């Protein structure tokens, strides 16, 4: 996917680029036509092809191998001293370069998602080949990180004797200035309608879209729901159009740089994963942190096990786990009430979170 879809990667690159003595190269793919391309001062961006959803399996495999060879050629030319890749799908060229061309290159690996061996082995031939390359270099890696403790535990169990030793936890925290427009007024919470917002990908099958929409419609005089997404599946759009709810609005996509201005206009930010695979059960999405630092209460489905460690007590903005299958039992006024609670934004700050990685990367 284009780097534009991975805000945590962008945040890391911007922090890394603050060191003007570094030569930084980013390898990614092109944005869809008409969408703004990311530019980061101090970072040379190489875009090798573009992701297309309508590719056949053969076409997709040819594309992956093309990306692999072009990236290997770039690495041979640039001769990096440190090399970081995100996700197994991007592992081919970095692992091959480390193994066959430059064993002294320090390899860093970060997983934005968790995939079981069954999922990885069920992929196309290229994915299975890359997965074998990865397992061969894990013990030689200078850094391997996951976004939370649960995902790391599963990963280490999956790897068995191939498990790396230099492991770290790297949550998807936003930049320190992300919450500069946050509000903390309790009075605003008493004035209906309550503003609810959702940011991110959306579909009917893998998200509690229908359950949330039904509940919002039933509370039409007390709340409204705005949806921002540039990755909304056709069936989800069709459902929203057919529903034609007066208090639900689909706003389309929004630039990440604009989120910190938009989010404080709402009271609640929501997460809607149904948890159809372990990756989404043991997930703490970056939007949870982004909602919170912008001053919003955050509601997540209570089956998202890894999020429960962040639930709040006696403070707001609240972080709450709810049963999205039984939203009709929830009282909106009680959910957003902050009477007797102290205002406290927790420190979810990328500059602190990424410091160990930046320090290790720049040795």
Asked if the model's pLDDT at residue 58 lies above 90, the reply is: no
**Confidence class for position 349, pLDDT limits 50, 70, 90:** very high
**Can you tell me the distance from the alpha carbon of 30 to that of 51, in angstroms, rounded to the nearest whole number?**
7
Which of 45-59, 141-155, 291-305, 342-356 has the lowest average pLDDT? 45-59
Which of 99-108, 124-133, 290-299 has the lowest average pLDDT? 124-133
**Confidence class for position 184, pLDDT limits 50, 70, 90:** confident
Asked if the model's pLDDT at residue 342 lies above 80, the reply is: yes
Bond preceding residue 123 cis, omega within 30 of 0? no
Mean pLDDT of 290-299: 97
CA angle 64, 67, 69 (to 5 degrees): 110
pLDDT at 50: 86
**Interacting residues of 195 by C-beta distance below 8 A, sequence separation 6+:** 223, 224, 226, 265, 266, 267, 268
Asked if the model's pLDDT at residue 52 lies above 90, the reply is: no
**Interacting residues of 10 by C-beta distance below 8 A, sequence separation 6+:** 3, 4, 38, 40, 256
**Confidence class for position 216, pLDDT limits 50, 70, 90:** very high
Enumerate domains of the chain plus CATH numbers: 3-173+352-361 (3.40.50.2000), 187-343 (3.40.50.2000)
pLDDT, one tens digit per residue, over 131-157 is 888 988 999 999 999 999 999 999 999
**Confidence class for position 53, pLDDT limits 50, 70, 90:** confident
pTM of the full structure: 0.93
């Amino acid at each position: 996917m284009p780097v534009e879809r991975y805000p945590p990667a962008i945040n890391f690159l911007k922090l890394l680029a603050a060191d003007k003595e570094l030569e930084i190269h980013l390898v990614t793919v092109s944005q869809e036509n008409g969408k703004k391309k990311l530019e980061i001062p101090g970072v040379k961006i190489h875009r090798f092809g573009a992701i297309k959803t309508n590719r056949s399996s053969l076409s997709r495999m040819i594309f992956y191998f093309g990306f692999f060879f072009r990236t290997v050629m770039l690495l041979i030319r640039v001769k990096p001293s440190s090399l970081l890749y995100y996700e197994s799908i991007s592992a081919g060229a970095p692992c091959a370069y480390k193994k066959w061309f430059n064993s002294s290159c320090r390899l860093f690996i970060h997983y934005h998602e968790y995939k079981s061996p069954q999922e990885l082995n069920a992929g196309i031939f290229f994915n299975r080949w890359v997965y074998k390359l990865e397992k061969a270099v894990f013990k030689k890696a200078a850094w391997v990180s996951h976004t939370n403790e649960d995902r790391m535990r599963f990963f280490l169990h999956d790897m068995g004797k191939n498990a790396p030793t230099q492991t770290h936890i790297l949550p998807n925290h936003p930049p320190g200035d992300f919450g500069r427009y946050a509000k903390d007024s309790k009075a605003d919470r008493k004035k209906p309608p309550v503003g609810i917002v959702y940011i991110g990908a959306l579909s009917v099958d893998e998200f509690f879209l229908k359950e949330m929409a039904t509940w919002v419609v039933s509370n039409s005089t007390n709340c409204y729901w705005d949806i921002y997404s540039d990755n909304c599946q056709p069936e989800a759009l069709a459902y929203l159009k057919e529903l034609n709810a007066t208090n639900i609005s689909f706003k389309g996509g929004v630039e990440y740089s604009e989120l910190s201005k938009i989010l404080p206009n709402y009271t609640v930010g929501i997460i809607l994963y149904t948890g159809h695979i372990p990756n989404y059960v043991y997930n703490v999405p970056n939007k949870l942190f982004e909602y919170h630092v912008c001053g919003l209460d955050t509601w997540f489905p209570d089956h998202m096990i890894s999020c429960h460690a962040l639930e709040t007590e006696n403070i707001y903005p609240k972080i709450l786990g709810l049963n999205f299958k039984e939203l009709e039992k929830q009282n909106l006024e009680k959910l957003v009430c902050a009477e007797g609670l102290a205002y406290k934004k927790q420190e979810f700050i990328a500059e602190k979170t990424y410091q160990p990685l930046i320090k290790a990367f720049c040795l």
